[in-house]
Amino acid sequence: MAEISTIARPYAVAAYKLGKETNSLAKWSEMLGFAAAVANDAQMQAYIQDPKVVASDLQNTFLKVCGDKLNEQGQNLIKVLVEYNRMFILSAIVSAFETLKAQDEGTLDAQIIAASKPSDAEIKDLLKRLEAKFGKKIEANVMIDAELIGGFKIIVGDTVIDSSVKGQLQNLAYTLAV
């Protein structure tokens, strides 16, 4: 079976293009996020995965729960996902859509993992350097992982910058093993 992200990407691209054409990217972001939250609810998950539930019932129930939070195009997306039994990719669609939207806005999401809580000045300096490196505005999520021992591990899209003590020790161990 194909990767979920591969299946979700065309839906996200279609939603993105429609949102871009109608100048409603923010509305699409809101609709998709809400629909994904509804789909991820434990009761709704059980209902979606129940093989006894007919597609038309699932579609009606889901749209009724979403109410006026989805416009006509948002409702059509849900109808297509239900029709092709692809409600399970809704979270992946949101993720792909938000990535496209961020690229359009010239921003990138970064995950900064530190061994201990960095100061505001350190984060500001790090963001400044990352923005210079990638040429885009960086929005960072800072996490603490004491297992890094010291330093930072930064993830921006597919790029991983590991300047942690743990990463350097792993590289040294690999080099010595070869």
Domain edges within the chain: 4-102, 106-177
Q: What are phi and psi of 19, to 5 degrees?
A: -65, -40
How confident is the model over 52-83, as pLDDT tens digits? Answer: 999 999 999 999 999 999 999 999 999 999 99
Residue 2 pLDDT: 61
pLDDT at residue 114, rounded to an integer: 94
Pairing state between β 137-144 and 159-162? unpaired
Q: Which CATH number fits domain 106-177: 3.30.420, 3.40.50, 3.40.30, 3.30.70?
A: 3.40.30
Half-sphere exposure of 115 (CA within 13 A, CB side): 12
Would you give per-residue pLDDT tens digits along the chain (178 residues)? Answer: 468 888 999 999 999 999 999 999 999 999 999 999 999 999 999 999 999 999 999 999 999 999 999 999 999 999 999 999 999 999 999 999 998 898 888 888 889 999 999 999 999 999 999 999 988 889 899 999 999 999 999 998 778 999 999 999 999 999 998 7
Contacts of residue 117, defined as CB under 8 A and 6 or more positions apart, other chains included, come to 144
Candidates 3.20.20.70, 3.90.550.10, 1.10.520.20, 3.30.70.260; CATH matching 4-102 = 1.10.520.20
Q: Classify residue 51 by its DSSP letter.
A: T
Other Cβ atoms within 10 Å of 47 Cβ, number: 17
Structure token pair of residue 24: 């409603």
Integer Cα distance of 136 and 78 in angstroms: 33
